[in-house]
Amino acid sequence: MKNNYLFILLIVVILVIAGCSTSESDNILDKEKLVVGMELKYPPFETKDENGEPIGASVDLAYALGDYLDMDVEISDTPYPSLIPSLMSGEIDVIISSMTITPKRAEKVDFSDPYTTSQLMLLVYKDSKVKSYKDLNDPEVTIVSKTGTIGALWAQDNAPDATTVNVDEEATAVLEVAQGKGDVFIYDPLSIIRHHENYPDTTRAILEPLPNTQGWGVAMQKDQDELREEINNFLKEAKEDGTYDDIREKHLKDKIEEFKSYELDFFF
| 113 and 31 inside one domain | yes
Q: How many residues appear in the chain?
A: 268
The boundaries of the domain holding residue 32 are 27-117+214-261
Q: What is the pLDDT of residue 214?
A: 78
| 84 and 158 inside one domain | no
| 146 and 90 inside one domain | no
Query: What is the CATH number for 52?
Result: 3.40.190.10
pTM across the whole model? 0.81
DSSP H or E run through 48: strand 47-48
| 197 and 137 inside one domain | yes
Residue 185 within a domain: yes
**How many domains in the chain?**
2
User: How buried is residue 91: exposed, middle or buried, by Cβ count under 10 Å (0-12/13-18/19+)?
Assistant: middle
Point out the domain boundary residue: 183, 206, 229: 206
Q: What is the pLDDT of residue 26?
A: 76
CA distances from 132 to 26, 122, 205 (A): 46, 8, 10
User: Cα(115)–Cα(154) distance, rounded to whole angstroms?
Assistant: 20
Task: Give the pLDDT confidence of 1-52 residue by residue, as tens digits.
Answer: 545 554 454 454 444 444 443 333 478 999 999 999 999 999 999 999 999 9
| 107 and 31 inside one domain | yes
| 177 and 71 inside one domain | no
Residue 86 within a domain: yes
